[in-house]
A and B are shown apart, each in its own frame.
Chain A
């Protein structure tokens, strides 16, 4: 009996082992993997953890779509199948609903549908006073101006990005996948006439288990302990890091660090990054792209004039990465300048002009913000620069502090004269600051409906023309500030076609490795170890600058990679890029070597180099690590059904084994009378 049972069990196991080979298709029959989802991840700072966390084996809940207030009540109090996995319509993604979810124990996770339908008039998950602790205003400098006492820069901010959620929050970006989820919900989970739906129900499981916890000091200490004592070290978090991009009108010797002799430099700066509630999503059109495009247009406008009639001072252009996270890039550059570890130092800096958010001008006005504490008269002359342009440059009230800007980090160390240009007087005009919805539509970039994508590339939108005006103003002001002669000012104009930079595809972009299917995302990321050599947007800006300011050389590929071997080239002053040419009618797209004075400089917070993980002076925001992030939906059955299936299968196995001889006998007994 025992042997027969073993025999039949082994046959059953054989069959199931064969089925195991096909088990991936069984898994596919049960689970539907959701691929186009974006998680919210955990970040840390000196004292808190922010972001979202899931359980180590994922959080599962019964699906419920949150469309009305009664749905909210169902989820939070009256529904009979907690915990629920909430599919949140766009209109409900606000602070009050999310905080109610956070405080409830019946919510297993949230998946937010990202769409424009039902989007509120404003949504900014950032804080109301961005970077308030790492700017220049503190108890010892302009204390009545600190903490946004005078001006609340982002009054529409709801601070969601800085809350700590104990359940996973994902964003559903693909409309087709959202339809699949809705269909599953409508087929199984809908309430019929107020009564609860019956099993089987549609359920969703979200995996986004984060390794880091508590705060930066703890996380770095644990990573350190793991690296020293564990056989299989786990890294818990990584500092946010990437590169700043800089260039100058006269090349600077990259190998000579510290004070540069006889160099007086005007810095023109803008930021290169953004963020949102979700990981790696930061379209940041008004927040960041307006500044980048304006500065690129400025550089393009200035390059012919600075070659023909160079001004006495050098103009240093810089794109700072990581400014959303307590000024990572600018604090690193200032730190390097202080320690004589950069091509120039603070004694070389004459003045600074920063381009803030400039895309949403109201009427003709552009605002020049300066620091009331260290203000010097007439720091930058913009009147002659603005002559003949369709904008007016105004100054905000004298007691208003600087908006959040990289210039504040320079002021912390030295009282340099400088200005921040912005389209807002008091609070931001940007109603979607640092959110998923700060995209081209927020900047009113619209095309006539009958244009092809190639025609769209060269079409001059109103936004492009507006930014070109700002760029012209900035270029002329910089030229004057650098001591150039005013008679050359009329030759400096920016080209509105620079707007191609914000498009998906362009000839220039085809040179680069970066080509996503959607608009570029400006989140800083984790730098070389994780993202490949350099973040795509940083590389993007670097190559565009090389294209705008560099010169074509006739070096071969190996010479391009080792220019020190060639006498005429100087790798201290220039960097060399091997790029493919544009594909057009006259040109076959042959690769060539371009030399330009564009460089990258590391943008990681000095606190991580100094190993001061609790430092209040620098950014100490690392991003947690994780093992896997995924989402899937499946039909959920009760435990009772599972147990019933188990008992049934045991019964069947017993039955088969007891009748084994009858069922499995082959014609083994050869009749003796065969011969």
Chain B
């Protein structure tokens, strides 16, 4: 989809749909939103829908950063402590590596 050829109202509705969709535990939609519409929101000359697009991008970015922080923390903790957790660690794991603790 080429944003150049879309009228501004459609751009706004697309941005909004991606923003709302990200709330369904889909942070990648927010990532795509931010990357795709960044130029539109901040680097293009102003047009009527731009402030709303800007706010959606900013909120998507905040949500994205929150998700990244939570996931990074959990993954680090899990990788570090899984062996020490014994039974709980095994029940939480999808694949358990062979031959190591």
Instruction: Report A's interface with B, CB cutoff 8 A.
Output: 53, 56, 209-214, 218, 221-222, 225-226, 234, 236, 624
- A211–B91 Cα distance when bound, in Å, is 18
Quick check: B99 and A212 within 8 Å, CB to CB? yes
- A211–B96 Cα distance when bound, in Å, is 10
By a CB distance below 8 angstroms, the chain B residues around A222 are 90, 96
Q: B101 in the interface, Cβ–Cβ < 8 Å?
A: yes
Number of interface residues of B (CB under 8 A): 9
Instruction: Report B's interface with A, CB cutoff 8 A.
Output: 86-87, 90-91, 96, 98-101
User: 16 A-B Cβ contacts within 8 A?
Assistant: A53-B99, A56-B99, A210-B99, A213-B98, A213-B99, A213-B100, A213-B101, A214-B101, A218-B90, A221-B90, A222-B96, A225-B90, A225-B91, A226-B96, A234-B98, A236-B98
By a CB distance below 8 angstroms, the chain A residues around B86 are 218
Quick check: A225 and B99 within 8 Å, CB to CB? no
By a CB distance below 8 angstroms, the chain A residues around B100 are 213
Residue of B nearest to A54 (CB): B99
Question: In the assembled complex, how far is the CB of residue A45 from the closest CB belonging to chain B, in whole angstroms?
Answer: 15
By a CB distance below 8 angstroms, the chain B residues around A236 are 98
Quick check: B96 and A225 within 8 Å, CB to CB? yes
- A213–B101 Cα distance when bound, in Å, is 6
- A168–B98 Cα distance when bound, in Å, is 16
Residue of B nearest to A625 (CB): B98
Quick check: A209 and B90 within 8 Å, CB to CB? no
- A218–B87 Cα distance when bound, in Å, is 7
Question: In the assembled complex, how far is the CB of residue B50 from the closest CB belonging to chain A, in whole angstroms?
Answer: 43
Residue of A nearest to B95 (CB): A230
By a CB distance below 8 angstroms, the chain B residues around A210 are 99
Question: In the assembled complex, how far is the CB of residue B96 from the closest CB belonging to chain A, in whole angstroms?
Answer: 6
Residue of B nearest to A234 (CB): B98
Kindly identify which residue among A211, A218, A225 contacts B98, using a CB–CB cutoff of 8 Å: A211
Question: In the assembled complex, how far is the CB of residue A169 from the closest CB belonging to chain B, in whole angstroms?
Answer: 16
- A210–B87 Cα distance when bound, in Å, is 20
By a CB distance below 8 angstroms, the chain B residues around A209 are 98-99
- A212–B96 Cα distance when bound, in Å, is 11
By a CB distance below 8 angstroms, the chain A residues around B91 are 225
Q: Name which of A56, A210, A218, A624 has the most chain B CB atoms within 10 A of its CB.
A: A218
Residue of B nearest to A49 (CB): B101
Residue of B nearest to A42 (CB): B99
- A213–B96 Cα distance when bound, in Å, is 11
Question: In the assembled complex, how far is the CB of residue A220 from the closest CB belonging to chain B, in whole angstroms?
Answer: 11
- A225–B96 Cα distance when bound, in Å, is 10
By a CB distance below 8 angstroms, the chain B residues around A213 are 98-101
Given contact pairs A210-B99, A222-B90, a sample of 7 additional A-B residue pairs in the complex whose CB atoms are under 8 Å apart: A56-B98, A209-B98, A213-B98, A213-B101, A222-B96, A234-B98, A236-B98
Question: In the assembled complex, how far is the CB of residue B91 from the closest CB belonging to chain A, in whole angstroms?
Answer: 7
- A236–B99 Cα distance when bound, in Å, is 8
By a CB distance below 8 angstroms, the chain A residues around B99 are 53, 56, 209-213, 624
Residue of A nearest to B87 (CB): A221
Residue of B nearest to A230 (CB): B95
By a CB distance below 8 angstroms, the chain A residues around B101 are 213-214
By a CB distance below 8 angstroms, the chain A residues around B96 are 222, 225-226
- A234–B99 Cα distance when bound, in Å, is 12
Which 6 A-B residue pairings sit nearest by Cβ, starting from the closest? A211-B98, A214-B101, A210-B99, A213-B101, A211-B99, A213-B100
Question: In the assembled complex, how far is the CB of residue A623 from the closest CB belonging to chain B, in whole angstroms?
Answer: 13
By a CB distance below 8 angstroms, the chain A residues around B90 are 218, 221-222, 225
Residue of A nearest to B89 (CB): A218
By a CB distance below 8 angstroms, the chain B residues around A212 are 99
Question: In the assembled complex, how far is the CB of residue A46 from the closest CB belonging to chain B, in whole angstroms?
Answer: 14
Q: Name which of B87, B90, B91, B98 has the most chain A CB atoms within 10 A of its CB.
A: B98
Residue of B nearest to A225 (CB): B90
Question: In the assembled complex, how far is the CB of residue B41 from the closest CB belonging to chain A, in whole angstroms?
Answer: 40
Question: In the assembled complex, how far is the CB of residue A644 from the closest CB belonging to chain B, in whole angstroms?
Answer: 36
Residue of B nearest to A221 (CB): B90
By a CB distance below 8 angstroms, the chain B residues around A56 are 98-99
Residue of A nearest to B83 (CB): A214
Residue of B nearest to A55 (CB): B99
By a CB distance below 8 angstroms, the chain B residues around A53 are 99
Residue of B nearest to A229 (CB): B94
Question: In the assembled complex, how far is the CB of residue A241 from the closest CB belonging to chain B, in whole angstroms?
Answer: 22
- A219–B90 Cα distance when bound, in Å, is 10
- A263–B96 Cα distance when bound, in Å, is 53
By a CB distance below 8 angstroms, the chain B residues around A211 are 98-99
Q: Name which of B87, B90, B99 has the most chain A CB atoms within 10 A of its CB.
A: B99
By a CB distance below 8 angstroms, the chain B residues around A226 are 96
Question: In the assembled complex, how far is the CB of residue B100 from the closest CB belonging to chain A, in whole angstroms?
Answer: 5
- A221–B90 Cα distance when bound, in Å, is 8
Residue of A nearest to B86 (CB): A218
Q: Name which of A209, A225, A624 has the most chain B CB atoms within 10 A of its CB.
A: A225
- A505–B98 Cα distance when bound, in Å, is 41
Question: In the assembled complex, how far is the CB of residue B58 from the closest CB belonging to chain A, in whole angstroms?
Answer: 42
Question: In the assembled complex, how far is the CB of residue B97 from the closest CB belonging to chain A, in whole angstroms?
Answer: 9
- A56–B99 Cα distance when bound, in Å, is 9
- A236–B96 Cα distance when bound, in Å, is 11
- A212–B99 Cα distance when bound, in Å, is 5
Residue of A nearest to B100 (CB): A213
Residue of B nearest to A624 (CB): B99
Residue of A nearest to B96 (CB): A222
- A299–B32 Cα distance when bound, in Å, is 83
- A221–B86 Cα distance when bound, in Å, is 10
Question: In the assembled complex, how far is the CB of residue B49 from the closest CB belonging to chain A, in whole angstroms?
Answer: 44
Question: In the assembled complex, how far is the CB of residue A275 from the closest CB belonging to chain B, in whole angstroms?
Answer: 22
- A56–B86 Cα distance when bound, in Å, is 22
Question: In the assembled complex, how far is the CB of residue A628 from the closest CB belonging to chain B, in whole angstroms?
Answer: 13
Residue of A nearest to B91 (CB): A225
By a CB distance below 8 angstroms, the chain A residues around B98 are 56, 209, 211, 213, 234, 236
Question: In the assembled complex, how far is the CB of residue B92 from the closest CB belonging to chain A, in whole angstroms?
Answer: 11
Question: In the assembled complex, how far is the CB of residue B88 from the closest CB belonging to chain A, in whole angstroms?
Answer: 11
- A209–B97 Cα distance when bound, in Å, is 12
- A257–B91 Cα distance when bound, in Å, is 41
